[in-house]
Structure 1
Amino acid sequence: MGKRTITVHHVRAVLRGAERAGADTVPLLQAAQIPPLLLGDDRARVTSVQFARLFRALYRTTQDEFLGLSATRSRPGTFAMMCYAALACPDLGRATERGTAFYALFDGGPDLTLRRTGTEAVFTVHNPLHTDEDRFLTECMLIIWHRLCSWLTGRRLPLLWAEFGYPPPPHQDEYESLFGCPVRFGAARTAAGFDAHWLDAPLVRDEAALDALLRRAPFDLLTRREYGTTVAEQVRRSLARSLRTSPRLPTLTQTAARLAVSPATLRRRLDRENTSFQQLKDAVRRDAAIAGLTEGREPIAELAARLGFSEDTSFHRAFRRWTGTTPGAYRVAVHTYGTPRQRS
């Protein structure tokens, strides 16, 4: 309960490299229990478990850490060797410099830099990566490097901002929660910034901890986004925690009290982050519903009641609005690798 779901845009994006190589992606989707025709609906979403299965299936198929999304292949083990090289450094700044220098050894590999500009440290992805038409690999580089830095120091390093050198995609609303900071599109570069004092933070991990991380990488790094660095993230976390114990979600007033602010202040801060309390409540219920239908077997009526819906019909209407299909059709599709049928 409370685990985020992933937009179908990312499912399409991660498949591009295998599709270009002529691989049959239907078996890969089926192995991940993702109905292939979900890809045709922009509202569709999958669980993190489904996406992880797909990611690993693609890794096995492509034998490429870039999943065929770059013109240059990255052999399995490259990321691990970079991590071992960085781990020997005394602090985060030198570890990041060593990591970017490591990838610079490969022709066509990631062109990454870390610059200290006043009080900020700015991590930039310079590659245009024309073969990465959905910018999935480009964004993964920012996300993985940031979260690897957090892991190495044992701290949650809050990003101050992230900006992207391309127009906003259809799923632009996902980005602030994905990066945990204000985002901007149409910038002159693709980069993210954090407080420069973190560059002096000592590394606290050893090789045994790195071995454990690498067994789950890179997907584990991609999905570690519960940093609570935005007000929306704090509200979402509070709502998800409440839903684990009660179908009745707290009101805006109750949530504001938990965060030690007034309801008006909470409403203004969420508005500045381009969201609202109702949108966050819907997202928490949506993700819990999709996870319940995909990973569980409880009757739909019981799932609806557990999520706080007083009537099955209300749950059906909400689920169709969220995903374009009904709860029953979605469950059948996932468990039979078929297609969600549109029901009236």
Structure 2
Amino acid sequence: MAVKQDGQGERLLMAEKDTISMQLVREALLESCAPGAPSQALLNRVGIDPAQLDQAQARVPASAYAQLWRLLARRCHDEFFCMDPRGLRTGSLAFLCRSSMAQPTLGAGLETALTFLGLMLEHLQPVLVRQQSLAEIVIGEPQDAPRRPFTYFTFWMIVHGVACWLAGRRIPILAIELRCAEPPFCDDYRVMFSENLQFGRPRTRMIFAADCLDLPLKRTPEELQRFLAEAPANILVKYRDPDSLARRIKATLRRLPAGEWPETEALAQQLCISASTLRRRLAEEGTTYQALKDSVRKELAITWLAEAEVGFAEIAARLGFADTSSFYKAFRKWTGSNPGHYRSLILPHDV
């Protein structure tokens, strides 16, 4: 962590940008490379210090992790870290993108991509389901022991990264459910995908607003060439939630009841900057303090809607709404769905 100080004496704690936890490096090596000297040589080739493998808090540049991904893919002839009996042979990502971008809409492009992945992989069989205003990608898989969390998240990294590239913008994820137990590290996954990760669920799926599926696709062969030349580094960092002032403010809001959220002046004072500087910095990141508060309210609402025992009136009160109807109106604005429909989708086996 480093402290940045400008000419006005403002001090902002700046988080480390565009890095990946060493935990993910260990996961990548687990099945695709035997332990010992060979893996050390691979790490040295991409500029990762093998001595850091045993350091739980160590981080590496996302670019180095991307180089490792590409190197392992060439070595194993598999772009999925050898985590499936069939795997994704070299060139799979390129074929997936080329065939998907030829479709008219994101929905059709995703259908094409998921069909291809289902043909290539043995254990992961994804399908796209549209449920009125919500959409979900559900992974069908053998009902034995769940896959490793890293397996699921690598799959989502590919699917979500390609979907964002096809659409030309980040596709907001409302929730990701996983059959596996929660791993000891999740921070990177929450940055890449969503704060709302739920483990130990009956099936593995990603939920998002269905209106994204109607976005037109207008990618060109030249854009595809650039995308593939930079992959997977661009997937790792371009479409994730940035490690930024906005993200740190959201983390602060999550720790407080909605009724205790500071006003702009009080928040600026906590950050040791002026209110005008706070507004300017958030504007530079493409957001506002009000938008951040709405974003956290949406995250919390989605989390509590997954808890069948928490009623709509209680959720509205927790979020600081005057009444349930105000909460309903806000939730529909945030997600395109009403809370009851979302709950019926997220809890089909629980209610």
Structure 1 residues 82 and 106: CA distance shift in structure 2, 3 A:
same
CA RMSD of aligned residues (A): 3.6
Structure 1 residues 201 and 225: CA distance shift in structure 2, 3 A:
closer
Distance in 2 of aligned mates of 1:234 and 1:205: 34
Please tell me whether the aligned partners of residues 85 and 121 of structure 2 are also in contact (alpha carbons under 8 angstroms): no
Among 172, 176, 183, the alignment partner of 1:158 is 172
For residue 206 of structure 1, report the CA deviation from its aligned partner. Answer: 1.4
What residue is the counterpart of 2:125 in the other structure?
111
What residue is the counterpart of 1:13 in the other structure?
27
Task: State the secondary structure of the residue aligned to 2:175.
Answer: strand
Query: Residues 1-344 of structure 1: matches in 2 within 5 Å?
Result: 3-20=17-34, 24-106=38-120, 108=122, 110-127=124-141, 134-227=148-241, 233=247, 235=249, 251-252=270-271, 254=273, 257-258=278-279, 261=289
Deviations 1:167-207 (A, max 9, x none): 11111233322213422122222221111011111002112
Distance in 1 of aligned mates of 2:243 and 2:143: 29
Distance in 2 of aligned mates of 1:23 and 1:64: 21
If the length of structure 1 is used for normalisation, what is the TM-score? 0.65
Gaps of 5+ in 2: 1-13, 252-267, 283-287, 302-351
Q: Structure 1 stretch 128-137 or stretch 98-107: which is displaced more?
A: 128-137
Structure 1 residues 194 and 223: CA distance shift in structure 2, 3 A:
same
Distance in 2 of aligned mates of 1:106 and 1:189: 20
Distance in 1 of aligned mates of 2:300 and 2:199: 17
Task: State the secondary structure of the residue aligned to 1:215.
Answer: helix
Structure 1 residues 191 and 149: CA distance shift in structure 2, 3 A:
same
Please tell me whether the aligned partners of residues 154 and 204 of structure 1 are also in contact (alpha carbons under 8 angstroms): no
Gaps of 5+ in 1: 238-248, 274-344
Distance in 1 of aligned mates of 2:116 and 2:37: 30
What residue is the counterpart of 2:4 in the other structure?
none
Distance in 1 of aligned mates of 2:131 and 2:17: 36
Task: State the secondary structure of the residue aligned to 1:37.
Answer: helix
For residue 109 of structure 1, report the CA deviation from its aligned partner. Answer: 6.1
Distance in 2 of aligned mates of 1:26 and 1:173: 25
What residue is the counterpart of 1:286 in the other structure?
none
Please tell me whether the aligned partners of residues 181 and 229 of structure 1 are also in contact (alpha carbons under 8 angstroms): no
Aligned partner of 1:152: which letter? L
Deviations 1:66-98 (A, max 9, x none): 122222132211221122111111101111112
What residue is the counterpart of 2:308 in the other structure?
none
Structure 1 residues 94 and 162: CA distance shift in structure 2, 3 A:
same
Equivalenced residue count is: 259
Please tell me whether the aligned partners of residues 70 and 129 of structure 1 are also in contact (alpha carbons under 8 angstroms): no
For residue 225 of structure 1, report the CA deviation from its aligned partner. Answer: 3.7
For residue 105 of structure 1, report the CA deviation from its aligned partner. Answer: 2.8
Structure 1 residues 172 and 108: CA distance shift in structure 2, 3 A:
same
Aligned partner of 1:18: which letter? S
Structure 1 residues 231 and 149: CA distance shift in structure 2, 3 A:
farther
Q: Structure 1 stretch 86-95 or stretch 119-128: which is displaced more?
A: 119-128
If the length of structure 2 is used for normalisation, what is the TM-score? 0.63
Deviations 1:26-70 (A, max 9, x none): 100111222223111222221213212322221222121112222
Task: State the secondary structure of the residue aligned to 1:114.
Answer: strand
Q: Structure 1 stretch 252-261 or stretch 79-88: which is displaced more?
A: 252-261
Distance in 1 of aligned mates of 2:146 and 2:79: 14
Distance in 2 of aligned mates of 1:149 and 1:179: 13
Distance in 2 of aligned mates of 1:91 and 1:121: 14
Higher relative contact order (CA closer than 8 Å, sequence separation 6+): 1
Task: State the secondary structure of the residue aligned to 2:33.
Answer: helix
Deviations 1:279-337 (A, max 9, x none): xxxxxxxxxxxxxxxxxxxxxxxxxxxxxxxxxxxxxxxxxxxxxxxxxxxxxxxxxxx
Structure 1 residues 82 and 56: CA distance shift in structure 2, 3 A:
closer
Aligned partner of 2:207: which letter? G
For residue 217 of structure 1, report the CA deviation from its aligned partner. Answer: 2.1
